[in-house]
Amino acid sequence: MQISQALSVTLHDYHPRAADMREEILDGLRAQQKTLPCKYFYDERGSRLFDAICELPEYYPTRIELGIMEAHAADMATALGPRVLLVEPGSGSSVKTCLLLEHLRAPRAYVPVDISREHLVAAADRLNRRYPALEVLPVCADFSQLFALPLPRRPAVRTVIYFPGSTIGNFEPVAALQLLKRLRRLAGRDGGLLIGTDLQKDEAVLERAYNDAAGVTAAFNLNLLRRLNRELQGDFDLSRFRHRAVYNRAEGRIEMHLVSLDDLTVNVADETIRFRADEVVVTEYSYKHTLSGFAALAAQAGLAVKQVWTDDRRWFSVQYLTAG
């Protein structure tokens, strides 16, 4: 771990090693069903593209979750209690976090955790300047792996993990269970977890959200290949792949794909990978939950649902969990 001064904040840097990225990418591309880990979407350009996706008219999750936060952030802050250490895995631009911070009573510190170093530092710097009395302790890390929390100057009463955006939906059920267990341990015995979960709805709404008319999601998906070209000496021709997002009804999830348009041979990380015409590379899953189904998953992780806030149509939920 490296600690470095950056702008107005101190960055705690556990950024994954290039060797780890290479191994994960090649393992996915060698598999019978090719995959690429969605966490590698978020280089600096990918993070900017995702921010743009969140502004799209078709992409309902951010808009609806923001509405829930605007309506209920005060209630959430009451549930969380005073003098908390707030930790946000996958923090991105921390937009929704501001709505929560406005209502928290005497928070001890905010720990944004993100894999995109440049995006993280810029967001943490903005928050540090906006809330000068709040200690902001950014951590660059893959939150699905173990990392150490930095200690705030003032001791906190409890640790609360804030996990918005339905990022939990990117994990298959077994991995989601393991992640919830890890977050429970990170929060500690008296801690809590405030989590956003996207709910099941009409599949036409879901597919529009991931196939926007402006093509921003397509650019976001294809940017992953651009990153592999830059960081792993790849020679992907982006014009020979297309973006596709479909709803898998049986699994209750959106699947994002990159589809090869031709028989191709690609070199990446000193290895040759062959693609058949119309071959699919899975880049992301986004599971859509029911309230009862998510409560059952949380219970397996030793967590109990204490409060749930939703929009009027029940398209999205923010849930407060504590150790059961």
Q: What is the pLDDT of residues 192-223, one digit of tens each?
A: 999 999 999 999 999 999 999 999 999 999 99
Contact (CB, 8 A) for 61 and 170? no
- For residue 214, the surrounding DSSP H or E stretch is none
What pLDDT score does 211 carry? Answer: 97
Q: Is 167 a member of any domain?
A: yes
CA angle, corner 164, sides to 160 and 165, nearest 5? Answer: 170
CATH number of domain containing 181 = 3.40.50.150
Q: Is the separation of the CB atoms in 204 and 320 below 8 Å?
A: no
Compute the distance between CA of residue 248 and CA of residue 252 in angstroms, rounded to an integer: 6
Tell me the backbone φ, ψ of residue 233, rounded to 5 degrees: 55, 40
Domain count, the chain: 1
CB-CB contact of 115 with 37 (8 Å) = no
- Per-residue pLDDT tens for 304-317? 999 999 999 999 99
Does residue 82 sit within a domain?
yes
Which residue range is the domain that position 135 belongs to? 75-201+289-323
Contact 40, 70 (CB under 8 A): no
Residue 282 lies in a domain: no
Provide the pLDDT for residue 12: 83
Give the residue carrying structure tokens 């014009």: 239
Q: How confident is the model at residue 10 (pLDDT cuts 50, 70, 90)?
A: confident
The reply to whether 178 falls in a domain is: yes
β-strand partners of 111: 87
What is the tens place of the pLDDT at every residue in 29-42? 999 999 999 999 99
Stretch 253-276: mean pLDDT, rounded? 97
Exposure string for 3-31, b = 16+ CB within 10 A, e = fewer: eeebeebbbbbbbeeeeebbebbbebbee
How much is the pTM? 0.92
